Chains A and B, each alone.
Chain A
Amino acid sequence: MATLLAALAGVAWLVDHFNVEPGLPRPETSEISPNAFHASSLPDLEGRPQSFGQFAGKFVVLNFWATWCAPCREEIPGFVRVQSHLGRDRVQFIGAASDDPAKVAAFGKEFAINYPLLADVDGAMALSRRFGNRLGVLPHTVILNPAGEVIANRIGVFPEAEISSLLAEALPKSTSK
């Protein structure tokens, strides 16, 4: 009995370790290098290109989303709280919307989003695909370390507790708030 329990605990750890929800597509391997990511850009809500290079040296949570996507709307309030809790010196959330900038701006206001929002229907989706989102589904969230390397990649809702604990583990203790 003890062996079975231990084995089941091991399985639970493995399932958790693989970080895949049942029924959710698994992102394929990211094909964008850290340099290519830092050299790429998306327009902000005023249409000005914003290079991802400006976020080099920080942990980045890059969330691909759209206003028409109900699961995206579900997870965003949690992102706002985590961004507020961790501060911008350590982690930078970025919302890359495959959507119309005016709709994104209205949504950002309504949800009091406290991190940069970028909007480009095709550009955001194209970048998401380069991070392995072959099907072009949303939400899609990628976490990158300060060197621009992918440390987490998920399709579907990223629960607040999980993203908090993942970032808490990844962040250097010396920079703890």
Chain B
Amino acid sequence: MKRFTSLAACCLFFAATHAAGPSDEPLDPEKAFRLSVAIAPDATGLNLRYAILDGYYMYRNRFKVEVVTPGLVLKPPAAPEGEAKDDPYFGKTEIYRRYVEVPVVFEGRPRPGRYSVEVTAQGCADSGFCYAPFTQKVVVNVPSSQAKQDAPIRPVTPAKP
């Protein structure tokens, strides 16, 4: 009986160490860093929102936004102050955990319409690996006049390095 208990404990331990828990699953970057985009409430730009999974983080200085469709011009992303990370190799860097909202202001007043926009970001996992900068495409519908668009815009393509 004692031997059986020991064996059972061993099996349980083995199963626990090899269970496919969420943190052990290889995650695609769009799942670790979930992007949605919204027109800013005052319609002066876009807000990029990333929900960041536990155990992952994003770098402040690695956001990039490019408009594919002519007619919309964007200023560089204005990423907010992040959490200080004293990296032994990079020195002091800033990162985000859990959530970040990055405003991207329109340059001038864009014409209403649908614009294809590519959003690039980069992040790593605490367990010791980093994703190559990954790009997701979103289609932004710039409303006519001051009409608001509250619904978040989801990427239309998977993240691509």
B contacts, CB < 8 Å to A: 2-3, 6-7, 9-10, 13-14, 17, 23-24, 26-29, 55, 62, 87-90, 122, 124-132, 161
Contacts and interface: CB of A to CB of B under 8 A. Distances in A.
A156 B127 contact: yes
A74 B89 contact: yes
Contacts, number: 89
Interface string A1-28: 1011001101100110000011111100
Contacts of B129: 24-25, 71, 137-139, 155-156
A26 B27 CA distance: 11
Contacts of A72: 130
Interface residues of A, number: 34
B83 to A, nearest CB: 15
B132 A138 contact: yes
A23 B17 contact: no
Contact residues of B: prevailing secondary structure? mixed
A155 B28 CA distance: 14
Interface in A104-144: 125, 134-139
30 contacts: A7-B6, A7-B7, A11-B10, A11-B14, A14-B14, A22-B17, A22-B127, A23-B24, A23-B126, A24-B128, A25-B26, A25-B129, A66-B132, A68-B62, A68-B122, A69-B130, A70-B88, A70-B89, A71-B124, A71-B128, A71-B129, A125-B132, A125-B161, A134-B26, A135-B27, A135-B29, A136-B131, A137-B132, A156-B127, A156-B129
A24 B128 CA distance: 7
B161 A136 contact: yes
